[in-house]
Amino acid sequence: MLIDSHCHLDRIDLEPYQHDFSCFMKEAENNQIEHMLCIAIDLESYPAMYDLVSNYSQISLTVGVHPNVQDGKDPSVDELVALGQEEKVIAIGETGLDYFRSKGDLDWQHQRFKKHITAAKILKKPLIIHTRESKQDTLRILEQENARDVGGVIHCFTEDWDFAEKALDLGFYISFSGIVTFNSAKEIKEVAKKVPADRFLIETDSPYLAPVPFRGKPNYPTYVRYVAEHIAELRNTSFQQIAQQSTENFKRLFRLDIG
């Protein structure tokens, strides 16, 4: 069985499923997808996302506002805590820093990031971290705000081993997306070889970043299999071992008793 630790189910293309979410869920089940973590990126679309997945026990949720979102509501700690108390919500995020898409004075990103960490600590739930071209500040804020108290995961990992080691030292897990299957992803492949067996997750980040052989096409949680297969090759082990280990790691990090 497989777990997709990071996907945006409210944004996937349902056209191949007759625009019927239940048809998509049936295919996920047929492809041995045991569980999916549906990630929030803003507060405006959160209610509809919640309604979409609320009846499926094999889907958990997060609450948070992505670091690039500027048009929507900037959440307060109290708002994050109120939404995060729902049992189906198992983590806070995605949150973090992104200096690639946002430019100029980014203090607002730092403040938003800190609010998410505070809310996670109040709720005692892990963090889903997004970082892009901001690794030093991401690590600094995680350390200064004592994010190690709750831990979490560096999702869609795109950094080097030095960053990975520092994140691991802070108690965070490393999650690999379809990017690890790209030929150009040399440093990420090296991290995938080195990360401790009990500290990695796999994800799709669907509908984005489809793995080889679907690169450039819409992504789906069912494609997490290709991430697992590639990591198995890199680590010279079996697909079954990667599937089992990543599933165990997910359940441990998010304290889920499933399956």
Return the domain boundaries, the chain. Answer: 2-253
Looking at domain 2-253, its CATH architecture is Alpha-Beta Barrel (3.20)
Mean pLDDT on 78-98: 97
With pLDDT > 70 as the criterion, what percentage of the chain qualifies?
Answer: 99
Q: Which residues contact 198 (CB under 8 A, 6 or more apart)?
A: 245, 248, 249, 252
CA-to-CA distance for 204 and 224, rounded, in angstroms? 6
Helix, strand or coil, per DSSP, at residue 95: strand
Q: Residue 11: how many CB atoms within 10 A of its CB? A: 15
- What is the model's pLDDT at position 85? 97
With pLDDT > 90 as the criterion, what percentage of the chain qualifies?
Answer: 94
Tokens of 11: 């944004």
Alpha helices in the chain (DSSP H): 21-30, 46-53, 77-84, 107-123, 135-144, 161-169, 186-194, 224-234, 239-253
Asked whether the predicted pLDDT for residue 259 surpasses 70, the reply is: no
Which tens digits make up the pLDDT trace of 108-154? 999 999 999 999 999 999 999 999 999 999 999 999 999 999 999 99
